[in-house]
Amino acid sequence: MPLNYAYNQPGSMPGTIAISAQAKPSEITLIDYNQERHHYARNLTPEECLNYLTTESISWVDVGGLGDRLILEKLGEVFNLHPVLLENIVNVPQRPKLEDYQNQLVVITQMVNLDAKGVWLEQVSFILGQNYLLTVQEEPHQDCFTPVRDRLAKNQGIIRQQQADYLTYALWDAVIDSYFPVLEVYGEKIEELEELVLTQPTHATLGKIHQIKRELLSLRRAVWPQRDILNLLIRDGHPLISDHVLRYFKDCYDHTVQIIDTLEIYRELASGLMDVYLSAVSNKMNQVMKLLAVISTVFIPLTFVAGIYGMNFNTQVSPWNMPELNFYWGYPLCIGIMLAIALSLIIYFWRLGWLKNDI
């Protein structure tokens, strides 16, 4: 799950690294490859990675976990990372962005993860060099790069025939494509909420609507800047990315636009669910008020009759003082009249359709 992020104190020196207490230990893995060979290694030290950076083969150094300050600082020395760049990589979260550091192209983006506990975002940083690519993730062993690793190991497609810029495209494309399964989950959630809003417009349902709106907003904030930096990269290009590979990034841009359009549709549907919820609550209140009004209308004439016969009169003084009080069947007759009035009103309301639950 996402880390409890640690931030620098106000006024800290540029390049200061803040390590969260919940950050996982850093683990370095390496894949070094060309058309003929493929080498995989785990638990390397930054110094061991240095030996692969001077070769003609392509080296992918993947760092998972931000919990070891010494390893991260040593990586900054080995890869000649600017202190401010290292701070942006480690002090998460950062807004997705594209930066040019002389002989390095830096991309900071957000990867979405889906597990049994829900959906959460993880920052991923790409540092593209001349024959290498350094990736830094918040969490070890929780990414969407497995298909790319398999293609490298099995030499599928053209990935091992290309340079590090194509590897950057493949990994970034995997990050963007990871949003599509999450969008399918949210589509199903919205369909379930539509049914729930109509049948059970409760406070719990309202809470679910607010939650899904917040999560969709978080996804939108993560995806929207990626569209901008992809557009900037495609428009201006970069010396480390060939024109041939730059065409592939246009496909990433199209996928990003598609994701944003879907997110906008889902946000509108979620906002519509709020209107449906308010209408359902209002209709439910109308049902209650209608029932109370019918009950009150039925009992008003009964209360009138009971109030008249509940008054104290002396029939010996005047025959006009309610002679029915001395009638032998007076009580059953009064009850019968009251029941007849109530039954007549209920039948009348039923014929008018007031007793039907059709609001």
Beta strand pairing status for 27-33 and 58-64? antiparallel
Same domain? 147 vs 12: yes
pLDDT value of position 3: 47
Residue 148 belongs to a domain? yes
Which of 160, 178, 210 finishes a domain?
160
Residue 207 belongs to a domain? no
Which of 160, 175, 192 finishes a domain?
160
Among 190, 357, 188, 198, CA closest to 276? 198
Residue 256 belongs to a domain? no
DSSP per-residue string spanning 148-173? HHHHHHHT-TTGGGS-HHHHHHHHHH
The one-letter amino acid at 240: L
Residue 270 belongs to a domain? no
Residue 307 belongs to a domain? yes
From first CA to last CA, the distance across the chain in angstroms is 44
Residue 176 belongs to a domain? no
Helix (H, G, I), strand (E, B) or coil at 190: helix
For the question of whether the overall pTM of this predicted structure is more than 0.85, the answer is no
Residue 71 and residue 87: Cα distance in Å, rounded? 14
Task: Quick: pLDDT tens for 253-277.
Answer: 999 999 999 999 999 999 888 888 8
Residue with tokens 């497609």: 157
Task: Quick: pLDDT tens for 307-318.
Answer: 877 777 777 777
Residue 242 belongs to a domain? no
pLDDT value of position 8: 63
**Domain of residue 341, CATH code:** 1.20.58
| b/e sequence 268-304, b meaning 16+ C-beta within 10 Å | ebbeebeebbeebbeeeeeeeebeeebeeebeeebee
pLDDT value of position 14: 65
pLDDT value of position 359: 43
Q: Which residues does the chain have with pLDDT short of 70? A: 1-15, 323, 356-359
Helix (H, G, I), strand (E, B) or coil at 242: coil
Which of 143, 160, 177 finishes a domain?
160
Tally of domains in the chain:
2
* Class of residue 2 by CB neighbours under 10 A (exposed 0-12, middle 13-18, buried 19+): middle
Backbone angles phi, psi at 201, to 5 degrees: -75, 75
Residue 187 and residue 105: Cα distance in Å, rounded? 36
Q: Which domain holds residue 101?
A: 1-160
pLDDT value of position 115: 75
CB atoms within 10 A of CB 266: 21
Range 103-108 contact pairs with CB under 8 angstroms and sequence separation of 24 or more: 103/129, 103/130, 103/240, 104/79, 104/80, 104/128, 104/129, 104/240, 105/168, 105/238, 105/240, 105/241, 107/168, 107/172, 107/229
**Domain of residue 88, CATH code:** 3.30.460.20
Residue 87 belongs to a domain? yes
